[in-house]
A and B are shown apart, each in its own frame.
Chain A
Amino acid sequence: MSADGTQVQPIPSELLTLNIGPAHPATHGTLRLQVQLDGETIVNMACEIGYLHRGFEKQAENCQYQLVIPYAERLNYMGPVHNSNAWCHAVEQLLGIEVPARAQALRVITSEMGRIIDHAVCIGTNLVDIGALTNFWYMYNYREKVYDLYEELCGARMMVNYPRIGGVSMDAPDGWFDKLLRVMDEMHEAVGEVRALVERNRIFMDRTIGAGVITKDIALSHGVTGPCLRAAGIPYDIRKAQPYWGYDQYEFDVPVAQGGDTYDRTIVRFREMEESVKIIKQAVARMPDGPVMVEDHLVAMPSKDKVYNTMEGLINHFKLVMHGVKPPVGEIYSATEGGCGELGYYIVSDGTPNAYRVRIRPPCFANYSTFPKISTGGMIADAIAALGSINIIAGELDR
């Protein structure tokens, strides 16, 4: 009804179809979304993925088990070391061997460092998407310090190629653990500062609470795992449910929220970073002594001393490089808790040094498959905020 009392006719309008991506700043990678809009409300949505499909699984079938390690790190390149640690863990399960306690602790430390930087990037870029730039620089500063630690540990910063089947490639250098503890103290403080900037921030809360809600039902139906599942109120964490690398001996909490929205996912990630710092500190405090590789000449490379000075060592080295590791015929599904959720490797072995079939269960793939469902009916700006908080890593999504 207008001011003079006459009936106002609705303005005729039609639905607008809009493409977001494949190259769009908010997609953080190459994802294509097509949305149908009624004003600013999404009435229909579809996702197209596969822009970064590199044939990882095919490649992994065509090279030896140990050659997959550096390639596996290109899956979730935001927290790369966890992927290769998990790959080695899967092959070890297939071989039926257990790595030494010190190597397990080093894997826990490197994986948790990976989780911290994964979450740091996720929170930082997600906040940039919704207009908060400062946090991004805070987070990236500390990510840089973690990369420095990786560099000191094994010479590489991002794609570190650190683990080996049967253990890890090298022990930590002198003084590394002290430096690690110092960085972790600073990290704890930094996480607290950034969290204080956003947690009770009215603008941030208005923008994210109720945006992109993944309910419990949707989460269960879509196999959602990781922070997205825990933000929906289900405390499932493989480190607690089916522990590996001695995670059952560490004291840490599994952060859970109830709303399942963008706000909760962000807060769960903040708290997980704090838990990861706790785990790393415990791992350093009771770092066991001993070797970092199994004593098994069928799996572990001999030391350089043996290779250069003994015939047996040279032959052993040659055999492992040329003929590789040979697990028995069988198949295994190995699940570990990656930065985004359950990272599963399903390996079928035919007894040769190459895996017969490698199937990766990428956590982002499952998490992202909820996206059309959770975004439809909401505003387009909410969908952009939710997209960042699901943390889609295209390398892992498309493999």
Chain B
Amino acid sequence: MISSAVDPRELDRQRRRVFLALFAALAVALHTVEALLPSPAPWFRLGFANILTLVTLFLFGGRAAWAVALTRIGVGSLLLGNLFAPGFFLSLSGGVAATALMTGAKAVAGRHIGPVGVSALGAAGHASGQLLVAWLLLVRTPALWGLYPYFLLFSLGAGIANGIAADLLLDALRDHPAFAGRLEREGR
């Protein structure tokens, strides 16, 4: 593409579109790589892929965040070969609950909430959604809820770390021409 011959607004749109595709692809890659990490139980995931959903939410808004989250879960489980297996439904329910909470929080709180708060909420949503579906589909026993506090605590720690990582990434992207002026700038 010869940029000089193109309408600058069109160029901006294309740039942002490329970034969105890049975020979705990175989220899929992180989702897949993370599945290779050893974990004591299937629900102890670090959720690195959520960093990309967070960054998308802050740079593009709620709809794009949903697109990245659902693309990651769909394509990620295709790559891992567990599409429609029990693990897929756990992943899907956690992802949907997390994205709903994150986009909701951003819509309600707007500028007052940062990536760390959104990420912590998302992590709690992920933990709750996953355990709920695990209880509904896999093990119908109230004893499963005994795991909930540990699960929540762990995901909260991971969520805070991911939020900080997302904030670092936002800082790095903030001055890129594709996003210049799109982010609210507030004094920290």
A-B interaction: no
Question: Which A residues fall within an 8 A CB radius of B?
Answer: none
